Amino acid sequence: MTALLRYQAALLLRSQRWIAPLVVYAGFVAVGIRPGDRALDSLGYAAAGLVPQTAWLVRICVGAEPPAARACAAAAAGPARVHAAALLTALGGALTAGAAGACFALLCGGPGGKPPAATAAAGVVAVLVCALTGAAVGALCSRPLVRGRGLAVLAGGLGSLLAWVAAFSPARSAVSALVGGARTDGVPLPLGSLAAAALLAAAAGTAACLLSARRE
């Protein structure tokens, strides 16, 4: 799997298709976070932006290979493993961007009387939750489940919007916990949302990998 991850990461970097989601996320963070804002508010905002960005990266990674190259990789390592490596590469890229966004939020945000270590831990959990939720959206809204480019973009956008607003969404719960915690005593640590997001991402990724193994 390590070799497949290196291969997928090299494909992503050489394609330069990662630049667009990174620039959009950087603009989202730069416009929405202002110096002096509560750190928890800023962390929640930075984490929320990872949902569509991760879904976008997943769509890029699972479609980065030309069909012939993907067939060769699938023959050598198995289509399910190749697809899983693409999903994990996208998640790793999103987490890297999320870490930078969280650091920016911590540097710009005011402490608001909250312990810095606990605030940073809450931000880490929120980043993980939103990235995992976005990965689940991307896995369900990209090939092999959704093959048309236009349909995949529409499905990914609607899925990301649903992840932002639906009451059952782990991303919404984690971000709401941070925003609410900025106005109350103590610092929330949304571990329940993290567990739910991990299960959701694992289920969506497994379904996508199994379907990929059947179709390719």
- For 124-152, what is each residue's pLDDT tens digit? 999 999 999 999 999 999 888 887 788 88
Location of structure tokens 């699972």: 62
Residue 179 has pLDDT above 80, yes or no: yes
44-53, 139-148, 192-201: segment of lowest average pLDDT: 139-148
Q: How many Cβ atoms from other residues are within 10 Å of residue 13's Cβ?
A: 12
Residue type for position 189: L
- The pLDDT of residue 188 is above 90: no
User: Is the model's pTM score more than 0.85?
Assistant: yes
Q: Does the pLDDT value for residue 207 go beyond 60?
A: yes
75, with CB counted inside 10 A (0-12, 13-18, 19+), is: exposed
Kindly indicate the confidence band of residue 37, based on its pLDDT and cuts at 50, 70 and 90.
confident
β-strand partners of 110 = 38
Q: Is the dihedral of CA 194, 198, 57, 167 positive or negative?
A: negative
Whole-angstrom distance, CA of residue 24 vs CA of residue 13: 17
Mean pLDDT for all residues in the chain: 89
Cα-based distances in Å from 165 to 51, 159, 160, 175:
12, 10, 9, 11
The mean per-residue pLDDT over the stretch 191-211 comes to 94
| pLDDT, position 111 | 66
The mean pLDDT of 7-22, rounded to a whole number, is 90
Distance (Å, rounded) from C-alpha 143 to C-alpha 145?
5
The length of the chain, given as a count of residues: 216
pLDDT confidence band for 35 (50 / 70 / 90)? confident
Q: What is the pLDDT of residue 103?
A: 94
Does 216 have pLDDT greater than 60? no
Going by C-beta distance under 8 Å and a sequence separation of 6 or more, which residues neighbour residue 159?
55, 137, 140, 141
Q: How confident is the model at residue 215 (pLDDT cuts 50, 70, 90)?
A: low
- Residue 112's pLDDT is what? 66
